[in-house]
Structure 1
């Protein structure tokens, strides 16, 4: 046993370089084995890899080498690696793998990982794969697939340990030792009644520290946190985060225990949701990946850019209204971008904080007006500070004393409005049932640009008597 570990360790260590990336030498060896069709060498290289590392290797390979790697590894390919790659790469690989092989591969996975893979198949292929599975596994997978997308039911594991309350600690431990069909990893025992409704939980550490004759009902926690299978995965993630959970029971509409969510699943959920929100704020679809085709990426980003074009045209019309003023005082054209830029950045700051607070439910009806007043106060304070700074710069730069007052007043106005718009626009969209992460950007940009140009050019026109 020691010799085996000694032989595989160098290969496992050589997989990543000092920066944590896939080692080019290792990648070249894998590519060479694929090109030569050397399945034995490829298996030797891939055998020590964790599923996450195998996923990283797949992403690093050339497009044509990915399906060949899966084919050469055959039954030794770990399908769990498909949960670690980009959606586009996973879909491409699944198209190249026969359904019989997919069925054989997902049998070795936890239900949540198997569902994650099967939900990418079209309905015909999905039905064919399920048909080739044993009835118990097929029923478990189908039940999870029947839950809404991005729900807790899709993320839960259906394997768990449930015992009646009248069992003793000794009976429970003996049951876990003697029963083969148990989950590989678990952190607590669920206590259920005859109708399989959850009545309590027992952490493993408490179970192991309690004497064998003690009844389970005497040591169980009756206060539990429950997740309904139809709950959105974000709601489940917030529950884990709020109460520092490691695992949590999932129940159906009748409060019957149907599964368990683990903290490793929640980490993936938090990462996915944060990734989607970040992309949405930048006008990128949540499912866009670096591996997507050029045409798909173009179609994904075009609508957002078009929306920004519309807002730019609206802002340009405001500038057109003051064309005469700009012609008489060209310095206004020099300073306009500064006003718009500061206003846009201020609006984006407030919008980002607001969207995130809405996503995490930190912003609620009870504290809405307090947060609005806070953001407006921040906008006014920043407005005063930048009014003094930019007003001074304008006077020194162009030697026109009144110009400093004009641009200072414009900056104060636009930063105040940007703060107000940055919080009110996402709030309004959220109340209307529209995702504020996706839709707030163009509205906030339009508001800050229009108000910024109108305030600066309007105040300048009135103050200097331009026409």
Structure 2
């Protein structure tokens, strides 16, 4: 074979695509979402029982992508996929699954297999999984685990849901304040098998195991071996074990924390929270607030019809009641409406415009309360600002609607009535939109859940009342 042929063959080998890279490109789009074409490929491999092909397809995916994939598969497909995941991969996938899908998957996992997977998890993730188990299976799984791991999970489950104690991982790296950098690094190397999978700080503790500071790993690596930890440690923001997870997320966001020690009532270090846990909390809380504004709960991919109906129907019934009250205003002015039918055409427009304006003010207020940007110190200023915005927008929209009314009915008084009604409803919408969440929050209610019902009622009621009341005074 000639030298040129050898060169061409070497070039072909160099440029030959990597099958794994091809699968990764095929599996995920540029937005890192699963491509629709990839899911049927996995389903086909499952149907044919092609374990080798399935390993290739799953090997191209991150555990988070496998969790996403399982959401697109049928219940039967998920059950067939489970045996193809080793304990380490299964552990990571279980941590990423949606709650409803995870509960279903856990039913099909043997207790021994699940116990091995839990052993690969951090204590916080393992506690979340165990919490989803039925009582009988929970007992079986915990009994199959080593004593130390079982005790850590049971301890985590002893804390209230959605608190720092439930969110934290018990695995921490701590060192006495009299140690040097060299002693600390040597300790980390000796105990590498027992270290947390992910940590950013070595917590410096006193003899009572209370954190007095934290030495970031980056500082350890840059410091000389004979430097005491006390010289390089930084102040820490301690998280009480019973603090609500939303408060924890606020502290992490405000102080730009990567990790923080969790302490019990006496100040003793019991665990740590890292930023990867907080990202999930922030996303979860944001989704809850968005859904609550619409009076619905999260309807996952496998949510049942009955559950969705139960979460949405009560709010619709409340809206039915408030709508009936608002319609009472219309009934009180039915004689005026009969005399001037244009009012029947304009009523829903005025009400709808006010509802949209109220939703705008409400959304801004709820977000500000959630972000701790709205409190007694600036409430008056925010209320005045929203009212001013409402009046300006009401005047602008009212003028445009008044001109449209004049174009259709050629009645200057009717145009003025419509403009005044829109202005009045925008004022009520702005005031109600910002006041309702503030008042509800003071009363201990979740403003994201209840405010929309209040604001919708106010804009419907006062929209009808303003238009028909002003019309009765001026036109009839």
TM-score, normalization by structure 2 = 0.93
Q: Give the Cα–Cα distance (whole angstroms) in 2 for the partners of residues 27 and 442 of structure 1.
A: 41
Q: Give the match for residue 209 of structure 2.
A: 196
Number of aligned residues:
460
Structure 2 residue runs without a partner (length 5+): 1-13
Q: Give the match for residue 267 of structure 1.
A: 279
Secondary structure at the counterpart of residue 302 of structure 2? coil
Report how far residue 43 of structure 1 moved.
2.6
Identify the match of residue 278 of structure 1 among 270, 290, 294: 290
Correspondences of 1:121-132 after superposition (within 5 Å): 121-132=133-144
Q: Give the Cα–Cα distance (whole angstroms) in 1 for the partners of residues 402 and 34 of structure 2.
A: 53
360-369 or 331-340, larger mean C-alpha shift: 360-369
Structure 1 residue runs without a partner (length 5+): none
1:209 equivalent in alignment to 2:193 = no
Q: Is the 8 A contact 1:350 1:419 kept in 2?
A: yes
Q: Give the Cα–Cα distance (whole angstroms) in 2 for the partners of residues 7 and 192 of structure 1.
A: 50
Secondary structure at the counterpart of residue 378 of structure 2? helix
Secondary structure at the counterpart of residue 194 of structure 2? coil
1:99 equivalent in alignment to 2:111 = yes
5-14 or 290-299, larger mean C-alpha shift: 5-14
CA deviation vs aligned residue, 1:349-405 (integer Å, no higher than 9, x gap): 111111122222211121112211211122122222222222222112210000111
Identify the match of residue 414 of structure 2 among 403, 414, 418: 403
Q: Is the 8 A contact 2:71 2:301 kept in 1?
A: no
Secondary structure at the counterpart of residue 285 of structure 2? helix
Identify the match of residue 447 of structure 2 among 436, 454, 461: 436
CA deviation vs aligned residue, 1:325-356 (integer Å, no higher than 9, x gap): 11100000111111101111111111111112
1:85 equivalent in alignment to 2:93 = no
Q: Is the 8 A contact 1:86 1:291 kept in 2?
A: no
Secondary structure at the counterpart of residue 272 of structure 2? strand
Identify the match of residue 373 of structure 1 among 347, 363, 384: 384
Report how far residue 82 of structure 1 moved.
2.3
Report how far residue 233 of structure 1 moved.
0.8
Report how far residue 128 of structure 1 moved.
2.6
Report how far residue 89 of structure 1 moved.
1.0
CA distance change for structure 1 residues 376 and 190 in 2, over 3 Å: closer, same or farther? Answer: same
Q: Is the 8 A contact 2:263 2:270 kept in 1?
A: yes
Report how far residue 6 of structure 1 moved.
4.5
Secondary structure at the counterpart of residue 142 of structure 2? helix
Report how far residue 234 of structure 1 moved.
0.8
Q: Give the match for residue 110 of structure 1.
A: 122
Secondary structure at the counterpart of residue 149 of structure 1? coil
Q: Give the match for residue 184 of structure 1.
A: 197
Report how far residue 187 of structure 1 moved.
1.2
Identify the match of residue 12 of structure 1 among 7, 12, 24: 24
Secondary structure at the counterpart of residue 366 of structure 1? coil
Identify the match of residue 340 of structure 1 among 324, 329, 351: 351
Q: Give the Cα–Cα distance (whole angstroms) in 2 for the partners of residues 19 and 208 of structure 1.
A: 36
Q: Give the Cα–Cα distance (whole angstroms) in 1 for the partners of residues 172 and 19 of structure 2.
A: 36
CA deviation vs aligned residue, 1:195-251 (integer Å, no higher than 9, x gap): 110001111121111111111111111x32111121111111111111111111111
Q: Give the Cα–Cα distance (whole angstroms) in 2 for the partners of residues 425 and 124 of structure 1.
A: 46
Q: Give the Cα–Cα distance (whole angstroms) in 2 for the partners of residues 94 and 455 of structure 1.
A: 57
TM-score, normalization by structure 1 = 0.94
Q: Give the Cα–Cα distance (whole angstroms) in 2 for the partners of residues 351 and 26 of structure 1.
A: 42
Q: Give the match for residue 159 of structure 1.
A: 171
Q: Is the 8 A contact 1:43 1:76 kept in 2?
A: no
CA deviation vs aligned residue, 1:37-93 (integer Å, no higher than 9, x gap): 333432332134211111111112122211111134464752321232322111111
Q: Is the 8 A contact 1:42 1:73 kept in 2?
A: no
Q: Give the Cα–Cα distance (whole angstroms) in 1 for the partners of residues 221 and 184 of structure 2.
A: 10
CA deviation vs aligned residue, 1:437-459 (integer Å, no higher than 9, x gap): 11111111111100010010011
Q: Give the match for residue 59 of structure 1.
A: 71
Correspondences of 1:70-81 after superposition (within 5 Å): 70-73=82-85, 75=87, 77-81=89-93
Q: Is the 8 A contact 1:22 1:60 kept in 2?
A: no
CA deviation vs aligned residue, 1:293-324 (integer Å, no higher than 9, x gap): 12221222111211121122112111111111
Report how far residue 175 of structure 1 moved.
0.9
What do you get for the CA RMSD once the two structures are aligned? Answer: 1.8
1:147 equivalent in alignment to 2:159 = yes
